A and B are shown apart, each in its own frame.
Chain A
Amino acid sequence: MNKPLRHIAIFCGLLMLALLIRENWLGYVRADELSSHEYNRRVLIERYASERGNIIVDGKPITGSVKTDSTDFVYKRTYADGPMWAPVTGYASQAFGATQIENIEDGVLTGTDDRLFFDNTLGMFTGKEKKGGNVVTTLNGAAQKAAFEGLGDKKGAVAAIDPQTGKILALASTPSYDPSKFAGNSDKDTKAWVALDKKNQPDDPMLNRALRETYPPGSTFKVLTAAAGLEHGVIKDVDAKTDSPLPWIMPGTTTPLPNENNIPCKDVSLREALRMSCNSVFGKLGVDVGKDKMLETAKNFGFNEEQFVPVRANASIFPEDINQSQTALSSIGQFDTRATPLQMAMLAAAVANDGKLMKPYMIDRLETPGVDVLEKTEPEEQSRPLSQEHAQMLQSIMETVVEKGTGTKAQIPGVTVGGKTGTAQHGENNSKNPYAWFISYAKTDKGSPVAVAVVVEDSGANRDDISGGGLAAPIAKAVMQAVVDKK
């Protein structure tokens, strides 16, 4: 009977071997995948096990952590001025995950980042409780406040950049939401979360309009068309007369490109055309530059690719494969041209910084809990879409717009301001209320400290009131003022 016994012994051995192999498969081969699995609650438990590091603006935290009595999540995220800062921080919720800075820098904030290993190990011996590191942002509290309060209960967004470094100074989006309302995992948090859902909120307060919404930029895009005209040699002198018939029939069609209110745009100089916002002049300029060169310049300014600041911003669009009439419309910011507020701020910033576009960023540095610097972001040149000479020519005509054109409401005493208004049509047959745009920069004797883009989309406002100059310029002015005053 011993022969079959030996076979059974082998069989039992195989059963055990199968278990051992399976355990190696789970505990070694798939260990990383399983320990960071989306359904692994330990990831969340770890995230809230110790006091979460803070996101810092102007040396003061705009976030916090409170101890809770939950068995799983010891700490809960809190936010100071949640709605105002939500487009910057994103949220970190026990029940609903994390986004934006809270998500991208989660490793540092929770303290699991490898670079915090030394601190954590040291803490084990000194008995200090584990705490996450801090994220120091580039934002400017006063500018953010001006932007958020300026938008008020209107729907819109503001992005402000320091043109010389690329530091993002303000990033506001309205309507906003308070991330502390659903930071926990109770029924109350779930209710707040569901209430914010797009299905229940047609205005979509969770949408970060400054980075993730693309709008038709309207007349503000004429700044880019002017830049293309200068760079590609179509315009040599901004004060020389252009060859601009009125009405100007778009090539390949029988339709003239209309101007607002019969303004005298015939053969005007580029300066005058920008001041009065002549569609006919810029439409023709775009066609004269040509669609490929327009696209090239747009790409140089950052169009047609996602920007990472390091939070992802949607790609702004200058359409490819278009005919001449479409080129004309695209060159005045209509047709398929779309831009994020961040992109339009980058456009103004590049002009203000003498043609040098600095890569925008919002995280200045990462710190350990003991405020040692882990990583610092250095300003970085992204591209050079304009020569210095052309940039200064463009500045000069943008300043004229604010001085005596459509953008007079953005004037700041004692400060040079350049800007451009925009009123973008949208909807079928332009039936919907247009978007009011304003892009501008301020300039002092130490160069330009701020460039800003404002968009207001307000279906409740009187249609005639929606113009870049009326709705958006005062907000831009307040933001620029806040930055200039602080310097």
Chain B
Amino acid sequence: MSVVTNTTTIGAIEAPSRRNTELFMLAFAVAIPVFAYLNVGLALDGKVPAGMAGYGLGLGLLAGVAHLVVRKFAPYSDPLLLPLATLLNGLGLVLIWRLDQSPRLIQRAKYLFGGFSPDAPKQLLYSALGVALFAAVLILLKDHRILQRYTYISMAAGLALLILPMFFPAVNGAKIWVSIAGFTIQPGEFAKIVIAVFFSGYLMVKRDALALASRRFLGLYLPRGRDLGPILAIWGLSILILVFETDLGTSLLFFGLFVVMLYVATERTSWIVFGLLMSIGGAVGVASFEPHVQSRVTAWLDPFSCYKTDATGACQQIGDSLISFGSGGTLGTGLGQGNSDLIGFAANADFILTTVGEELGLAGTMAFLMIYALIVERGVRTALAARDPFGKLLAIGLSGAFAIQVFVVAGGVMGLIPLTGMTMPFVAYGGSSVLANWALIGILIRISDTARRPAPAPAPSSDAEMTQVVRP
């Protein structure tokens, strides 16, 4: 068994597939949300909720299908990623269903939009579509290295996805949505994956140039001027996103993703230093003239300052959110018994973590954060285990993006950093988010399957992979 625990060992021949572990964990990942569902029903109506069997079967079915697909198409993949994602998705559904029954939110929706429709059924549909996308990724993508062929197509697609929202009207001050034929899509969620593919492909080719052609100055490796081009371009792009879409979160996510991958590809600490300086400079610079970003920063610095001056404004959100976390205390009020719906705006999307904070308390929130941390950990482990640089870069890119997103959203909601318009992966309401994150997990599972698959022949050296580079 000692061979198995060391997943970095490339020649782990005869590694157990771990599919039964996954199935066992999946049973928990379905049982816990069902129990939570029951808990909400009992707290709100005092009786076992009518939809419980349907919900349990639905979630069980999704998990079962996903498991069978993994068993068939990625038998050696990481056994924890799927249960963790299922658990988060299932708990997210329960939280959304709980908020659907909030009289305050129903009243608010009727007042603002003239009607109310529950979000949980829609989210269940999105989850089904997400699992379908997950299955499609595993079935169609036989080897993640195929993605390498699409490096520059990915770049074009990523840019398009990022730029697209600029041409659509702002929603709540941020331009991160695209609405087509009644559907609203958050392209940033998908761009995250596509851009990670592009960075992996690009950096795999350029890493030597970026890493070696540099001068040493004050203990730092300074890159050549012309090698600075790409990072400057990406920096410029993220600044443009910040200016034109006024979305600090997306901007931070892409720049952070790039810096992380650049560092991994080149092993040069100087990139981190540069990245930090540039992102701080950019953020401060933009905040000095962009009122939307400014108001977010002001609200972050003093969350309770605006209650007196602007009692109805959006700047109260962060103060309300902090109060919600504090009111939960250590163990929380219990599901269905809190008042996190007082936030009103995006209670089941951007601010869904406040419901966790208030109703499940410090303990529940820590558990949620640990689940996210575990997903990131499995992703990083996959990157360590991957045998090819492209796979390593892609895995670390995807898990890094996931970690940064969780940090940006949770940190924003908890007042650690200024608030941004992003969603908690898997938990928050929203089709784009659920679909994109299931696809992300699908790709990570694919990479981990390739990484842990018993080598058919003596392990090739990693340089051998380099010969496969696709001509641009």
Contact = CB atoms under 8 A, between A and B. Distances in A.
Interface of A: 1-9, 11-13, 15-16, 18-20, 22-24, 26-28, 30-35, 37, 39-42, 45, 71-72
Contacts of B8: 2
Given A22-B416, A23-B366, A37-B326, A8 B380 contact: yes
A8 B260 contact: yes
Contact of B104 (A9, A30, A72): A72
A19 B328 contact: no
B167 interface: no
B327 A35 contact: yes
A11 B376 contact: no
B407 A23 contact: no
B414 interface: yes
Contacts of B411: 18-19, 22
A20 B369 CA distance: 7
B392 interface: yes
B319 interface: yes
B365 interface: yes
Given A12-B376, A39-B307, A4 B362 contact: no
Residue with the highest number of chain B CB atoms closer than 10 Å, among A2, A23, A24, A39: A23
Contacts of A31: 326-330, 362
Contact of B263 (A4, A27, A32, A41): A4
A30 B326 contact: yes
B76 interface: no
Given A34-B322, A39-B304, A71-B103, A1 B403 contact: no
A189 to B, nearest CB: 16
Given A31-B362, A34-B325, A37-B304, 14 more contacts: A3-B267, A5-B392, A8-B400, A9-B377, A16-B407, A18-B416, A20-B369, A23-B325, A24-B362, A28-B329, A31-B327, A35-B323, A37-B323, A40-B327
B158 interface: no
Interface string B404-415: 101100110011
Contact of B380 (A12, A22, A45): A12
Interface in B351-384: 357, 361-362, 365-366, 369-370, 372-373, 376-377, 380, 383-384
Contact of B366 (A3, A15, A20): A20
Q: Per DSSP, are chain B's interface residues mostly helix, strand or loop, or mixed?
A: helix
A45 B324 CA distance: 14
B399 interface: yes
Contacts of B421: none
B389 A1 contact: yes
A11 B403 CA distance: 10
Contact of B339 (A4, A15, A23, A45): A45
B3 interface: no
Contact of B369 (A6, A16, A39, A72): A16
A28 B327 CA distance: 10
A13 B377 CA distance: 8
B371 to A, nearest CB: 11
Nearest to A21: B416
Contacts of B400: 8, 12
A32 B400 CA distance: 35
A281 B310 CA distance: 62
23 contacts: A4-B264, A5-B396, A8-B263, A9-B384, A12-B376, A12-B380, A15-B407, A16-B406, A18-B411, A26-B322, A27-B357, A27-B361, A31-B362, A32-B326, A34-B322, A34-B325, A35-B329, A39-B304, A39-B319, A40-B327, A42-B327, A42-B339, A72-B104
A234 B377 CA distance: 90
Q: Per DSSP, are chain A's interface residues mostly helix, strand or loop, or mixed?
A: helix
Nearest to A45: B339
A35 B406 CA distance: 25
Contacts of A45: 339
B184 interface: no
A378 B263 CA distance: 75
Contacts of B362: 23-24, 27-28, 31
Contact of B326 (A16, A18, A27): A27
Contacts of A28: 329-330, 362
Contact of A7 (B263, B323, B369, B406): B263
A12 B322 contact: no
Contacts of A72: 104
B466 to A, nearest CB: 12
A72 B102 CA distance: 11
Nearest to A33: B326
Top 8 closest pairs, chain A to chain B, by CB: A34-B326, A27-B362, A26-B325, A12-B403, A16-B373, A15-B407, A9-B380, A35-B327
A35 B326 contact: yes
A13 to B, nearest CB: 7
A18 B400 CA distance: 16
Interface in B380-398: 380, 383-384, 389, 392-393, 396
Nearest to B327: A35
A18 B416 CA distance: 8
B326 A23 contact: no
B380 A5 contact: yes
Residue with the highest number of chain B CB atoms closer than 10 Å, among A3, A5, A20, A35: A5
B300 to A, nearest CB: 12
Given A27-B326, A27-B330, A27-B357, A16 B403 contact: yes
B265 interface: yes
Contacts of B20: none
B166 to A, nearest CB: 29
A39 B372 contact: no
Contacts of B107: 71
B342 interface: yes
Contacts of A16: 369-370, 372-373, 376, 403, 406-407
A274 B267 CA distance: 100
Contacts of B369: 16, 19-20, 23
Nearest to A39: B307
Contacts of A3: 267
A20 B243 CA distance: 31
Contacts of A18: 407, 411, 416
B98 to A, nearest CB: 16
B329 A1 contact: no
Interface in B311-329: 319-320, 322-323, 325-329
B338 to A, nearest CB: 9
A475 B403 CA distance: 76
Given A13-B373, A41-B339, A41-B342, A8 B264 contact: yes
Contacts of A15: 403-404, 406-407
A23 B328 CA distance: 11
Interface in B52-111: 103-104, 107
A71 B263 contact: no
Nearest to B340: A42
Nearest to A15: B407
Nearest to B105: A71
Contacts of A1: 264-265, 267, 389, 392-393
A26 B326 contact: yes
Contacts of A5: 264, 380, 383-384, 392, 396
Contacts of A71: 103-104, 107
A26 B326 CA distance: 5
Residue with the highest number of chain B CB atoms closer than 10 Å, among A1, A7, A24: A1
A459 to B, nearest CB: 36
Contacts of B389: 1
Interface in B260-294: 260, 263-265, 267
Contacts of B267: 1, 3-4
A30 B416 CA distance: 14
Nearest to A23: B365
Contacts of B414: 19, 22-23, 26
B373 to A, nearest CB: 4
Contacts of A20: 366, 369
A190 to B, nearest CB: 12
Nearest to B264: A4
